A and B are shown apart, each in its own frame.
Chain A
């Protein structure tokens, strides 16, 4: 199995815009190559996380080895990597690309080129990939393959004359894809006799196996029982198991040059396992490490706090395990006056934030409160020093601040003509500056510079709703620019709730303040007493709402016999209250923290 000559190996990623059918195509490829029996096959079989199944999206890239007997009579080893489409998971895509020589660029023939089609294909080009365009969903009546081919040539500049036309769903022309892989993608290069170099592509925590590492071998051989060394820090480990995914985990004796697979090695510390690291032979180490990956830079931060303070330890452990599984997620300890001990966590976007929060609650059974998401500001103090600010609560008194800068992004938005007007209005409302506007057929492509702060909150949701779902969006960080920013504090019954404070541009402060007060009024259940919710800049109140007192409720009949039962009920209710976070006697449900900031501006 492992003695496949390099010439008969093909490593490829499947890349596309969200929902264009990557995972469905992966299903068909697995099926045609006999990786799974019909009984074992489910839809989007590689989306094995519960969350992926529920939301119908890919979050983690997945790897599968397939055996394909080609028309030339030879059997090829195909290593497939299915990648996520959403912009928040671009880091997953970039790592997969680094492990392959080619890409299948899937484009939905009824939708055409979208923002992430562009973002991903440019990444693949940067990785020097051979790219095979695949037009999917040709079974749909709305499919316009010729138009989309033209788009691929015009917008991306790729030759689409040999694009493979398929339907991943109904299985049309899957052979065509396989043949294109074999004939059009280059085989990997590598030398089995050189010292071992293998790229650490991904890692995760498995309940039974411990830490599992996904690798791509360049040179040498990775064998069971061998002592390996992580080149970044010198840590050495014994390889307990190595193997491949078919997609079932199948142990093998070794992994040779050009191959992809997994190893387990009783690795205890997360720090010993960095994606992008090079794994080498401890006894015969390579001299030069592989290029590795650019570290991911979180763009959105928020605080995560356990609802029950006793869960702090559990949160710490869980974050460690998750981080192992998701290298793009960052965290550092934080304390809050309102919420106690927790972590400040960094994410690649709001969907990423939402997914991590969900995973913490589902996979680790943690009840968490998330604070308002914030971008990273640069604070220039009077003494000339600069401090990055991850947490609005940490903003120094304005008298110490000379000026502040906020991050800007370059956003690419593709949208059908008829919705362009509202999209431009939205961008302008969000302080956007247009830098380009071009047309591809009846679709417009607008390139805007926008403050990230304006995008983080609900930009994506708004964009989708004003375009009836037709607009697509991608962004990349640009630079920092000076800005007139203020911190808005939220006070509940005169007490500031540090976890709800946020930073906004002065021009948007009043409307944001009003909107969040109104939203909190909706989200905080009526309490026993009237409560005031205020937004303030420094000592100046800019918005106020009042939540009326509690609904009326009293047990109608209560005699002698009921007393013990009534008392026990009362004690239970008191217990329940203790577990809730109290802000001057106001109970704020955890859902309020994130939802409060996902409001319409």
Chain B
């Protein structure tokens, strides 16, 4: 693989647990800053030692709430990564940040640490919805945070969650238009998903939280894509919108099924080692992860070689989310099998007739109609 590596660094702490969130995030009275900074650096060095010097295309500080880490920690990790790998030109370094006042003042310090792209968890521009989502910030704080971030970083994205309970199409359209006016060159717009084990799931099960029905949700989704498009932001992935050239390089590595390294508690990775593609996983609970890193130099749990059929499935399930689809040559290189061999020919033919996919010798693309049905299409289409 000649693609540059993508490096993900997980910061597992948040100020509070949001009721919809199933990410590996934890609340602590005092975040053990020094300990986690050291452990992350140790694990990065361990991973780099076995990978060898490779080109590095992106770094992503995700969470949890990585804007709660000391900017100094980010600076050290960035410097380590640049020393251990060959930074590709235009190395993209993203920080997920929450628009709470606590972190707003530190944005400049993060920029000075090397962060050149911020992704703000705005979630909504309406105070009532923010309360419903259990967020620690107001809409005004979010807007202020966005403006500050925009002045601070060369690139900026933010997240919104829609298809919320009782959300009407017109209300969402109005909110979305305000968001588009605030947007720089990138937006992530997610439909609210009920995740297992969350507080929302319990409410949902008891019928106390009702999501928009299938048809309403589909209408919201389609209206979202249309509005973003009209604003010059292209839907390059199911939930991600960017001005041409402003796509998240880091996330594209996931969707194109490139190599990515994941360090920090619960982080996943897919890295080429020798002739194998290895799925890596880190211990999930923060402190036990740190214990292991301190003891063994890494917090890795059982690693697995990804089999050929699994590589094919993973690459398709990620790649068909992209507007550009899956590149046949890249697919063959990455999986060792021809793209057509991974698909059920009968379903492929029907899916083409139905206008769900476009298939050329160069690539397989899910159309807009195909992408909205991807969850049903994939199990049928894949062998």
Taking Cβ atoms with an 8 Å cutoff, the residues of A that contact B are 528-530, 549-561, 563-564, 566-567, 570-571, 573-574, 577, 585
**Could you say which of B268, B269, B376 contacts A528, with CB atoms under 8 Å apart?**
B376
Q: For B356, what are the chain A residues with a Cβ–Cβ distance below 8 Å? A: 528
Query: Which of the segments B34-42, B312-320, B331-339 contacts the partner chain?
Result: B312-320
Q: For B314, what are the chain A residues with a Cβ–Cβ distance below 8 Å? A: 563, 566-567
* A/B interface sample: 13 pairs, CB < 8 A: A528-B373, A530-B354, A549-B354, A551-B214, A552-B217, A557-B190, A557-B239, A559-B251, A559-B254, A560-B270, A571-B313, A573-B378, A585-B346
Q: For B217, what are the chain A residues with a Cβ–Cβ distance below 8 Å? A: 552
Range, interface on chain B = 35 or more
**Could you say which of B191, B317, B380 contacts A566, with CB atoms under 8 Å apart?**
B317
Known contacts A560-B270, A567-B310, A570-B317; is-contact A577 B379 (Cβ 8 Å)? yes
Contact A557 B373 (CB under 8 A): no
Give the one of A529, A557, A560, A561 with max B CB within 10 A.
A560
Known contacts A557-B190, A557-B193, A577-B379; is-contact A564 B373 (Cβ 8 Å)? no
Min distance, Cβ B218 to any Cβ of chain A, angstroms: 4
Contact A560 B269 (CB under 8 A): yes
Contact B270 A563 (CB under 8 A): yes
Q: For B318, what are the chain A residues with a Cβ–Cβ distance below 8 Å? A: 558, 563
**Could you say which of A550, A554, A557, A570 contacts B313, with CB atoms under 8 Å apart?**
A570
Q: For B110, what are the chain A residues with a Cβ–Cβ distance below 8 Å? A: none
Min distance, Cβ B335 to any Cβ of chain A, angstroms: 13
Chain B 264-295 per-residue mask, 1 if CB under 8 angstroms from chain A, else 0: 00111110000000010100000000000000
Closest 5 A-B residue pairs measured CB to CB?
Answer: A573-B379, A552-B372, A552-B218, A556-B191, A560-B254
Closest A residue to B380 by CB, please name it: A528
Tell me if B221 is interfacial: C-beta within 8 Å of chain A. Answer: yes
Q: For A528, what are the chain B residues with a Cβ–Cβ distance below 8 Å? A: 347, 350-351, 354, 356, 373, 376-377, 380
Tell me, in angstroms, the Cα distance from A563 to B380 when the chains sit together. 18
**Could you say which of B215, B260, B262, B376 contacts A550, with CB atoms under 8 Å apart?**
B376
Contact A553 B373 (CB under 8 A): yes
Contact A560 B317 (CB under 8 A): no
Tell me if B104 is interfacial: C-beta within 8 Å of chain A. Answer: no
Q: For B87, what are the chain A residues with a Cβ–Cβ distance below 8 Å? A: none
Min distance, Cβ B258 to any Cβ of chain A, angstroms: 10
**Could you say which of B266, B354, B374, B379 contacts A554, with CB atoms under 8 Å apart?**
B374
Q: For A556, what are the chain B residues with a Cβ–Cβ distance below 8 Å? A: 190-193, 238-239
Tell me, in angstroms, the Cα distance from A569 to B205 when the chains sit together. 21
Tell me, in angstroms, the Cα distance from A573 to B379 when the chains sit together. 6
Tell me if B155 is interfacial: C-beta within 8 Å of chain A. Answer: no
Tell me, in angstroms, the Cα distance from A564 to B268 when the chains sit together. 9
**Could you say which of B6, B193, B313, B350 contacts A529, with CB atoms under 8 Å apart?**
B350
Q: For B378, what are the chain A residues with a Cβ–Cβ distance below 8 Å? A: 570, 573
Tell me if B164 is interfacial: C-beta within 8 Å of chain A. Answer: no
Tell me if B200 is interfacial: C-beta within 8 Å of chain A. Answer: no
Contact B8 A560 (CB under 8 A): yes
Chain B 362-383 per-residue mask, 1 if CB under 8 angstroms from chain A, else 0: 0000000001111111111010
Tell me, in angstroms, the Cα distance from A475 to B378 when the chains sit together. 53
Min distance, Cβ A571 to any Cβ of chain B, angstroms: 8
Closest A residue to B383 by CB, please name it: A574
Tell me, in angstroms, the Cα distance from A560 to B266 when the chains sit together. 11
**Could you say which of A551, A560, A570 contacts B379, with CB atoms under 8 Å apart?**
A570
Q: For B375, what are the chain A residues with a Cβ–Cβ distance below 8 Å? A: 553-555
Q: For A567, what are the chain B residues with a Cβ–Cβ distance below 8 Å? A: 310, 313-314, 317
Q: For A566, what are the chain B residues with a Cβ–Cβ distance below 8 Å? A: 314, 317
Complex interface residues of chain B between 151 and 198 (CB less than 8 A to chain A) = 190-193
Contact B238 A560 (CB under 8 A): no
Contact B347 A574 (CB under 8 A): no
Min distance, Cβ B81 to any Cβ of chain A, angstroms: 17
Q: For A552, what are the chain B residues with a Cβ–Cβ distance below 8 Å? A: 214, 217-218, 221, 372-373
**Could you say which of A550, A561, A571 contacts B373, with CB atoms under 8 Å apart?**
A550
Tell me, in angstroms, the Cα distance from A380 to B318 when the chains sit together. 62
Closest A residue to B255 by CB, please name it: A558
Q: For A550, what are the chain B residues with a Cβ–Cβ distance below 8 Å? A: 373, 376
